[in-house]
Amino acid sequence: MEELNDFISQSLFEITQGVREANEKFNRARGGDQSAFELMPGPGNDQTAGIHFDVAVTTKTEAGASGGAKVNIKVVEASAGGKGQRAWENVSRLRFTVRIGLQVM
């Protein structure tokens, strides 16, 4: 189970790291100093430029025997049975694009 903000942050970090590592491996294998792979910012108002996400998230509200309620937003939700609890879960699909502000090599 992962929080949505952690999923986005970790995904973006790993994508940029992956591009850098791919370039490093490419250059070691060829003995060069080029960027074969790049993440580029889109020109102007290009709505297709960026890293596209399409994720399913769950919101789950639990009401326990103590009378308290808790709401969570997760990328993946696992459920386990519990005594004296009621839970409501809603699954939504989110699609969005994170624009790239700087060139990453």
Please give the torsion angle defined by the CA atoms of residues 46, 48, 50 and 54, in that order, rounded to the nearest 10 degrees: 150
pTM given for the model: 0.64
In a domain, 104, yes or no: no
In a domain, 103, yes or no: no
- Asked if residue 88 has pLDDT above 50, the reply is yes
Cα 11-19-4 angle, rounded to 5 deg:
5
Cα separations in angstroms, 8 against 58, 70, 74, 93: 15, 23, 11, 14
- Looking at the structure of the chain, the number of domains it has is 1
Token pair, residue 97, equals 């694009």
Range of the domain at 26: 4-98
Q: Which residue has the higher pLDDT, 30 or 40?
A: 30
In a domain, 105, yes or no: no
pLDDT tens sequence across 10-28: 999 999 999 999 999 999 9
In a domain, 15, yes or no: yes
pLDDT tens sequence across 42-85: 776 666 678 888 888 877 776 665 555 555 566 644 444 445 55
Q: What is the Cα–Cα distance from 34 to 52, expressed in whole angstroms?
A: 26
